């Protein structure tokens, strides 16, 4: 882990080196270097999942590949990292479907607010290999393909002042991911949307450029946003997954046996990340409380009513979304019936 940080810092100091290395195929000591970028700290469940990915690939194909993980946006903010995967300058990145949506609009579907009725339905959909593979494999034109998903919890508002009802959002400037759908959502909520990268959020809240943001609980602690925003409201507007995307040329250049190893490694990374997720979330809530963050329960329906018209609007704007949306509604109903 320390190794990867040091390597990351060294590369950061000379960003030209990143491209020089990538340009020559990233070979070191005869091994092909596999670079993976993500935005989280090294204690985050996603990093822990990727460490298992690294170990697994190297245990099976270690004579050929050297997997290197770059956390904390060391290779650049998420949108930049997606571009690096597109061009093949790096091989993999973890990206939120929010940030992927401008690269392929199929990913708009997960930005639809209140798309999933429950966490169970969300997990069931994400674990539906047939449905998800059809989505993952549909983005060849963008130069990448997703290989697995990671839980990123439920997104809620947090701000410098309490948001207890949708009316409290009026006149507020709230950060969203670089996603047109999220901008629309924020406007429908009655707030002004401020799209920016994840790494900029802390300073933007601290300096008063924005009033707040929206994310899962880990943002309060892992990214320290709880130091500058003390009110977290459980309005539950989205469950937006993160995906591990890989450069298409790289993936297609693997032999079937190698591809299988990478797929198994990806599956293992997801398993580990998901096992860690609820543990990490509960810990984050406790830590955030110690930081003085107040958690506010609210009338979710009141928030939902504000943005429900977006479902129809987004589906008619992008017909590609409809079949996936319908499959998700079916899962919503199935889960409801089981309860």
The footprint of ligand GCU (CB under 6 A) covers 39, 78, 96, 152, 177, 198, 215, 219, 242
Alpha-carbon distance of 243 to 34, in angstroms, equals 17
The minimum distance between CB 335 and ligand GCU, in angstroms, equals 23
Tracing tokens 């599956």 back to the chain, one arrives at 267
Report yes or no: 338 and 330 within 8 Å, Cβ to Cβ.
no
Q: 199-202: long-range contacts (C-beta < 8 A, 24 or more apart)?
A: 199/39, 199/73, 199/77, 200/77, 201/175, 201/225, 202/227, 202/228
Nearer to ligand GCU, 77 or 190 (CB): 77
Nearer to ligand GCU, 94 or 314 (CB): 94
Alpha-carbon distance of 230 to 235, in angstroms, equals 16
The minimum distance between CB 59 and ligand GCU, in angstroms, equals 27
Nearer to ligand GCU, 78 or 148 (CB): 78
Alpha-carbon distance of 51 to 176, in angstroms, equals 29
| Contacts of 279 by beta carbon, 8 Å cutoff, 6+ apart | none
DSSP 74: T
The minimum distance between CB 74 and ligand GCU, in angstroms, equals 14
For residue 211 the two structure tokens come to: 């009033």
The minimum distance between CB 339 and ligand GCU, in angstroms, equals 27
The minimum distance between CB 145 and ligand GCU, in angstroms, equals 18
Nearer to ligand GCU, 26 or 98 (CB): 98
Nearer to ligand GCU, 4 or 179 (CB): 179
């Amino acid at each position: 882990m320390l190794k990867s940080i040091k390597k990351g810092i060294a590369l950061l100091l000379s960003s030209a080196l990143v491209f020089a290395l990538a340009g020559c195929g990233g070979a070191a000591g005869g091994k092909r270097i596999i670079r993976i970028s993500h935005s989280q700290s090294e204690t985050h469940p996603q990093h822990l999942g990727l460490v298992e990915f690294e170990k697994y690939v190297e245990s099976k194909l270690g004579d050929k590949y050297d997997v290197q993980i770059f956390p904390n946006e060391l290779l650049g903010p998420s949108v930049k990292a997606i571009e690096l995967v597109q061009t093949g300058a790096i091989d993999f990145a973890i990206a939120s479907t929010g940030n992927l949506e401008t690269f392929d609009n199929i990913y708009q579907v997960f930005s639809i607010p209140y798309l999933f009725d429950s966490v169970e339905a969300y997990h069931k959909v994400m674990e539906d290999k047939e449905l998800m593979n059809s989505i993952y494999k549909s983005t060849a034109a963008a130069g990448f393909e997703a290989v697995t998903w990671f839980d990123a919890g439920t997104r809620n508002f947090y701000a410098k002042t309490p948001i207890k009802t949708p009316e409290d959002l009026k006149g507020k400037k709230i950060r969203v991911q670089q996603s047109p759908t999220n901008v629309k959502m924020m406007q429908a909520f009655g707030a002004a949307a401020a799209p920016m990268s994840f790494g900029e959020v802390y300073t933007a809240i601290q300096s008063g450029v924005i009033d707040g943001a929206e994310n899962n609980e880990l943002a309060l602690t892992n990214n320290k946003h709880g130091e500058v925003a003390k009110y977290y409201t459980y309005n539950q507007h989205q469950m937006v997954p993160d995906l591990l995307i890989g450069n298409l040329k790289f993936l297609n250049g693997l032999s079937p046996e190698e591809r299988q190893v990478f797929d198994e490694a990806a599956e293992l990374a997801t398993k580990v990340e998901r096992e860690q997720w609820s543990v990490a979330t509960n810990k984050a809530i406790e830590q955030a409380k110690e930081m003085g963050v107040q958690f506010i329960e609210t009338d979710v329906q009141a928030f939902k009513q504000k943005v429900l018209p977006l479902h129809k609007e987004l589906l008619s704007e992008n017909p590609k979304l409809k079949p996936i949306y319908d499959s998700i509604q079916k899962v919503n109903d199935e889960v409801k019936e089981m309860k």
